[in-house]
Amino acid sequence: MIRTRLLGAGLVLIAAVGAVVAFAATTKSAASAGEKALAIARGKYLATIMGCGDCHTPGTLFGGPNMQHMFAGSEVGWKGPWGVSFARNLTPDLDTGLGYWSEAELIKFFKTGNKPDGKQALPPMPWLTTAQLKDADLHALVAYLQSVPKISHKVPEAVPPGADYSGPAIAFPAPGAWDAPAAMPAASPKQ
Ligand code: HEC
């Protein structure tokens, strides 16, 4: 009889411990879901005020961002001494966007302009600006970019200097002495 009662008490205890553990796990995942939502909101704010969509959302530079194609890249080239570059698809689409870039690769790119394939970002991608972001803001920016709707859109490949290109482009004039570019630093010094 006593043994049965002890067994019963034991079972109640196990159930109670189980409930506490389950509750703690739920609270923890609710907290991290909350943190994630906060990071995404912060990243959205940063991407907006840093003008990422100016170049990466079509129509924006012409005064009318096409939000159906938000961050899906542009087919208007930027023509300069580097050839012709195109603001690329930043959505998490696997084939045409940033789907395969890890968080670490994105953060490295924003800090150094260096891509996973070893290439350095061509102008006018303002990586010298993103390099100033604090770590928490870099994580937030990436969390936001990874949360936007995937859009399949292949941006034209960059055209090397001197090669033919007849599509639409914003051409940079040869600068006068005042506007001549300084040598590009390998990585941005913190200001
Ligand atoms: C003035 C135009 C401009 C603005 C503003 C801009 N970008 Fe870019 N971005 C570009 C161009 C052009 C490229 C392509 C560079 C190249 O081909 O190397 C690029 C490339 C990138 C890439 C590399 C993608 C790839 O597939 O190689 C990422 C990531 C990126 N931009 C994110 C951002 C984010 C985030 C912001 C806002 C903080 C931003 N860009 C603001 C023009 C811009």
Q: Where are the domains of the chain?
A: 53-174
| Mutation to probe ligand 1, out of 125, 133, 157 (largest number of atoms < 8 A from CB) | 125
State whether residue 83 is helix, strand or coil.
Answer: strand
Identify the helix (H) or strand (E) that includes residue 170. strand 169-171
β-pair type (77-80, 169-171) = parallel
**102, pLDDT greater than 50:** yes
pLDDT-based confidence at 183, cuts 50/70/90?
confident
d(CA 12, CA 72) in angstroms, rounded, equals 56
Query: DSSP character for 189?
Result: P
pLDDT at 145: 98
Q: Which residues, 6 or more positions from 162, have their beta carbon under 8 angstroms from its beta carbon? A: 83
Ligand 1 is surrounded, with C-beta below 6 A, by 47, 50-52, 54-56, 78, 85-88, 90, 109, 115, 121-122, 124-126, 130, 141, 158
CB of 98 closer than 8 Å to CB of 151: no
Q: Per-residue pLDDT for 188 more than 70?
A: no
The pTM (predicted TM-score) of the whole model is: 0.86
pLDDT at res. 23: 65
Averaged pLDDT for residues 35-46: 97
